[in-house]
Amino acid sequence: MDEVVSGILNSGSLQLSKISRSLKEPTRLHHTLKRLSRMQGKHAQIAWECEDLLLNQIVPKITDTMILGIDPGDLNRNGSSKSENICKVRDGDKGTIVNGYPMITVVARCLKRGSTLPVLTRLLSSTRGAYKSENNDIMQTMNRVEQSCTPLL
């Protein structure tokens, strides 16, 4: 966790690639990225704190003229049967059931300027312990965005 926090502070970014570069380890960047990614999987609180930091950076840029859109999608991992918490999802492109992860993305769109801000993306799984339903996941995501945007209203 110390490395991730240090990397965030040094790079000023929440992107793993920028965090990894800022650590300046004597190994290949690819290996540092893989290690930090594994570490995030073992320490969920890091991912939640990163989500909070990202929301704190994005929310002030959202104006009252923007439209918030939520897109339930999927991440197709059909060739990977041993990924952690992999589950069955409907591939939206082909209409078939494949191995993968449900994904929820929230964006803010300004129709006047034609610009889009990524607000939040969550990768989910029906095999994780706290799973209740996809509708519950969508509502939790919407509530999280609403809580973050409340100071703007």
Indicate the pLDDT class of residue 48, thresholds 50, 70 and 90: confident
Token pair of 68, please?
Answer: 């918030």
Q: Give me the pLDDT at residue 80, please.
A: 67
Q: Give me the pLDDT at residue 104, please.
A: 87
More confident residue, 113 or 149: 113
Q: What is the mean pLDDT of residues 107-132?
A: 84
Q: Give me the pLDDT at residue 1, please.
A: 65
String of b and e for 61-81 (b: at least 16 CB within 10 Å)? ebeeebebeeeeebebbeeee
Q: For the chain, what percent of residues have pLDDT higher than 90?
A: 1
More confident residue, 38 or 23: 23
Indicate the pLDDT class of residue 109, thresholds 50, 70 and 90: very high
Indicate the pLDDT class of residue 81, thresholds 50, 70 and 90: low
Q: What is the residue-averaged pLDDT of the chain?
A: 81
What is the rounded radius of gyration, in angstroms, for the C-alpha atoms of the chain?
A: 17
Q: Is the model's pLDDT at 152 over the cut of 60?
A: no
The pLDDT tens digits for 5-36 are: 777 777 777 677 888 888 888 889 888 888 88
Indicate the pLDDT class of residue 121, thresholds 50, 70 and 90: confident
- CA 76 to chain CA centroid, Å, is 16
